[in-house]
Amino acid sequence: MAGTRRSLMGLAAASALGGPRLARAETYPSRPARILVGFSAGGATDIQGRLMGQWLSNRLGQQFIVDNRPGASGNIATEMVARAAPDGYTLLQVVSPHAINPTLYPNLPFDFLRDITPVIGAARLAYVVVVNPSLPVRTIPELIAHIKANPDKVSYGSAGSGTPQNLAAEMFKMMAHVNLLHVPYRGGAPAVADLLAGHIQVVFSPVSEAIEQIRAGKLRPLAVSTAARLDVLPEVPTLATFVPGYELSGFAGIGVPRGTPADIVTLLNRELNAAVADADVRAKIIDLGGTPLGGTPAEFGKILSDAIHKWAEVIRFAGIKAD
């Protein structure tokens, strides 16, 4: 199986090196394609990519293979896609860091909005404010009061500087007028582990990374970051209930290189909209703490543009620099 996967990936890579070829929707796909994921296997981003890849494989009769290329907050995979042949055989799993990176990394060798054509936004992804149950707070107002009563003593963990978790907490600091100490980790899992151990007090965690610990009673959820409550955590209020105007959601979707034929973009958008409408796929997205999305390429493009401008404001306010 591993040898087959390598050979399929090699076939896709070799075709990309051969130069642009104008595939058309009536013959597409005629060979395996790959979805580049700029993060390690096993995380929420990877799971979302595999969900979309499996759907396309089943519907279109060719393998859409997930190719994990972690590093530089997704920039390595993005550059590979931006430089790939615009023939529909190299896709990008597009997630929140792609809206953060243009501000965080001002000298990127590509322009995300120019060089990546949006196909579809598959899901909105939520964050949840979680604390160790030993912390004497059960609500966001109690957390704010606790932070103000203990200046420079309450810390939050994140997956690293410039990650969505970092920015979610900084946005909370900006809007709630509180100060939290940032403890960056190399990934969300180590941050949650130290929260469980009591070494830090708060994490603004992707729901998918905290849900099992919440269900086990090992972490206490205080609020979710989205405008509405989540089906997967129906009893947990929104942050906006206590911090008016706070709304933050990540996203997962698909993009392709600029210049990919419009009929291929249309075909991929149609098939992935069918995925988002499928009951089993929707259930899996919801279980990951997401809200199924769907829509047109233009609608996903607006989500991306709006997110880039929103994150730029938070990054500049907090003075965040890339690690």
User: How is 266-305 classified by DSSP, letter by letter?
Assistant: HHHHHHHHHHHHSHHHHHHHHHTTEEE----HHHHHHHHH
C-alpha 26/C-alpha 210 separation (Å) is 44
Q: How far is CA 213 from CA 7, 162, 175, 197, 217, in A?
A: 39, 25, 28, 12, 6
Q: How far is CA 286 from CA 47, 229, 234, 279, in A?
A: 13, 12, 12, 10
Q: Is residue 297 in some structural domain?
A: yes
The answer to whether residues 259 and 217 belong to one domain is no
Same domain for 152 and 232? yes
Instruction: List the strands of the sheet with 250-257, edge to edge.
Output: 64-68, 33-37, 90-95, 250-257, 116-125, 290-292
Q: Given 176, 209, 241, which residue is the final one in a domain?
A: 241
Q: Mean pLDDT for each consecutive 10-residue tract of the chain (323 residues)?
A: 38 38 69 94 85 96 95 93 98 96 93 97 95 96 97 92 92 95 89 94 93 95 95 95 94 97 98 97 89 96 95 90 78
* Residue 55 is assigned to a structural domain of this protein: yes
For residue 160 the two structure tokens come to: 């690293």
**Could you tell me the residue range of the domain that residue 181 belongs to?**
127-241
Q: What DSSP designation does 310 have?
A: H
Please state the pTM of the whole predicted model.
0.83
143 shares its domain with 160: yes
| CB count in 10 Å sphere of residue 238 | 19
Query: pLDDT value at position 37?
Result: 95
Looking at the fold, whether 6 and 119 belong to one and the same domain comes out as: yes
155 in the same domain as 140: yes
Same domain? 90 vs 13: yes
Looking at residue 139, which CATH number applies to its domain?
3.40.190.10
CA atoms of 69 and 75, how far apart (whole Å): 9
What was the pLDDT predicted at 184?
A: 92
Give dist(CA 169, CA 197) in Å, integer: 20
The predicted pLDDT at position 25 comes to: 58
Residues 226 and 157 in one domain: yes
Domain boundary among 241, 272, 294: 241
Within-domain flag for 101: yes
Burial of residue 29 (CB within 10 Å: 0-12, 13-18, 19+) is buried
Question: Do both 10 and 92 map to the same domain?
Answer: yes
On whether both 109 and 258 belong to a single domain, the answer is yes
Question: Total structural domains in the chain?
Answer: 2
> What's the CATH code of the domain at 79?
3.40.190.150
For residues 70 and 139, membership in a common domain is answered with no
Which residues have CB under 8 Å from 76's CB, separation 6+?
A: 38, 69, 70
Beta-bridge partners for 130: 203, 221
C-alpha span between 225 and 238 (Å, rounded): 6
**pLDDT for position 11:** 35
Whether 8 and 98 map to the same domain: the answer is yes
Q: How many CB atoms lie within 10 A of CB 23?
A: 22
The domain boundary, picked from 241, 269, 301, lies at: 241
Domain contains 323: no
Q: Would 145 be classed as within a structural domain?
A: yes
The verdict on 73 and 146 lying in the same domain is no
**Predicted local distance difference test score (pLDDT) of residue 158:** 92
Q: Is residue 137 part of a domain?
A: yes
